[in-house]
Structure 1
Amino acid sequence: MDSAALPSLIPLLDGVDRWGELLPLLPVLVSLELILSADNAIALAAIARSQKDPERERQALNLGIAMAFVLRIGLILMAQWVLAFRPIQLLASAYLLWLVYQHLHEKWLGGGIELQDQGADDSADGSFLRTVMALAFTDLAFSIDSVAAAVAISDQLILVVTGALIGVIALRFTSGLFVRWLAIFPRLETAGFLAVAFVGIKLLVTLIWLGLRVPEWFTLATVIVLLIWGFSEKSFPTAEET
């Protein structure tokens, strides 16, 4: 979820077609992006953390989110076609729900399924590339949910692209924080994937019931409750884990 997904912002930004009108709103947009990208950021942090090396995690986040920005721009340029082509939204929903299944299967059923460790013979470079691609496409799946509102905010492409840039910068910042927090708060990763499940189910439901719109307060409340639960238990990692 990001700030473009909130209909209450559209009246605020409607008609903002010049930089002088946009600049006073940037602090608001940045703050909202930092708060509302939490569900996306936890999922990306969990994917990056599978590299089990801080330097490779940072590199994966940098490359994956840079690729995500390019994909967001492509999504904005093709917004009308994407929104009219329901199978793409269905694929985004299925991908998010698959990520949740994969996490729960590994955590609670011991299935040993991992996005990046699919075999002992896999090379480190192959694992790193899969991580980068997973980061980019996970963000793209999240972006499907808000691209319509982002385009509705302004008919000026440069301003819409600026909003996307703010979003990915905020996402990189919050993802980096969550990589560290996942080692401290054991429930946080599961809370993040439950938020991913919520986004995936919401996409699926809106595809089945055309015209249905989930209230923004319900979306915000759900994410906040999950985050509170995620931060409710704290552990103290050893030097090897940090």
Structure 2
Amino acid sequence: MLKVFRFSLLLTVLVLNLPASAVDLEKGKEINGTCAACHSDNGQGGKKGEYPRIAGQQVKYIETQLRNFRSRTRVNIPMFPYTQERELSDADIKDIAAYLAGIELDTKMPTYVGTEDALTRLLMAEKVMIVPRAEGDLTNGGKIYQKQCAACHGKSGRGRGMFPMLVGQYTPYLQRQVDLYLKGDRPHDEEGMVGLLNALNLQDIQDVLAYLTSIQEHGE
């Protein structure tokens, strides 16, 4: 009986220490073909911020939001059918999240050496993500961001864990999400319907958004 117990214990230890299944980046790239219809091939999103940038976003954040769309914890009618398990399994979610997180978008136009053909130049330019500067008080915005937002979203706005990257994101998209938070139509991460954003006035929020556009070259 003791030997059986020891064998069972050893088996349990071995199972618990097995490495997690590796993500399939090729599968993630394949899945991204569907995402690209709105978010573009490289995950830049819509040029006017109608669709968010998802390239370089935090893995845990992407996974969480896809599951939230599926469960309607975050209501997004266009995303709902694509996130159902028959269309996007849990393994698929991990694959697409890892693939998107690994996409790096430059914040400066490429330097051409003169030997590139037209297609190569076009592809190089398409991987540049420069968000237009937003108006606002950068000093005030920076002060508020570093005091109120950096603990979750990182000092450079690159995000952390389940908290999203904000730098390099389209300002109109961020403003739209802020409006949803303030109206109570979208929970602000783990804070519920009322959080830090509700304590800021509209000018402070505009200043924070302006600050984020000013540090995008340092966020990559």
Tell me whether the two structures share a fold, i.e. TM-score over 0.5.
no
TM-score (norm: length of structure 2): 0.29
Q: Give the greater-gyration-radius structure (CA).
A: 2
Which has the larger helix fraction?
A: 1
- Higher RCO (CA < 8 A, seq sep 6+): 1
TM-score (norm: length of structure 1): 0.28
